[in-house]
Amino acid sequence: MKNLKTFLLILFVSVTCFVLSGCSDDDVSATGELFVTFQNSDAALSLRIYAIDNEETPIYTTQLQGPKEFKHKLIAGNYMINLMGGSIHNITKIGFQIRSNTRTSIHYNENYSPSILYK
């Protein structure tokens, strides 16, 4: 009987230490940041963000005037951007991915050709 109590006490202490050591304040987030820049800043643009599985309804729309720089937090997942306006009425859509705790940078050059960088 004494061996059983000792065993249970050791088991209880071990489980308690295991559970408490697993608790920490890790900065785990399900969001990432989208950062979009444009080399050409002369035209007014409409930027629309779509979920990859629903290209009909944008989840976010904004008008960009003047210097073009755009930041937005999104939940991790796959998305598309559609640009409209300026001398180019409908710029080709581009797909991108948002990763947790990561910045997705999309840069459009003077011809509105995009390049994507994940940091």
* pLDDT at residue 58 in the model: 95
Residue boundaries of the structural domains of the chain: 34-118
In three state form, how does the secondary structure of the chain look? CHHHHHHHHHHHHHHHHHHHHHCCCCCCCCEEEEEEEECCCCCCEEEEEEECCECCCCCEEEEECCCCEEEEEEECEEEEEEEECCCCCEEEEEEEEECCCCEEEEEECCCCCEEEEEC
- In a structure prediction context, what are the per-residue pLDDT tens digits for the chain, which is 119 residues long? 677 777 666 766 666 656 555 555 555 679 999 999 988 766 778 889 999 999 899 999 988 876 678 899 999 999 999 888 766 566 668 999 999 999 999 998 888 888 999 98
**Predicted pLDDT of residue 109:** 87
Superfamily holding 34-118: Transthyretin/hydroxyisourate hydrolase domain (2.60.40.180)
Predicted confidence at residue 86, as pLDDT, reads 62
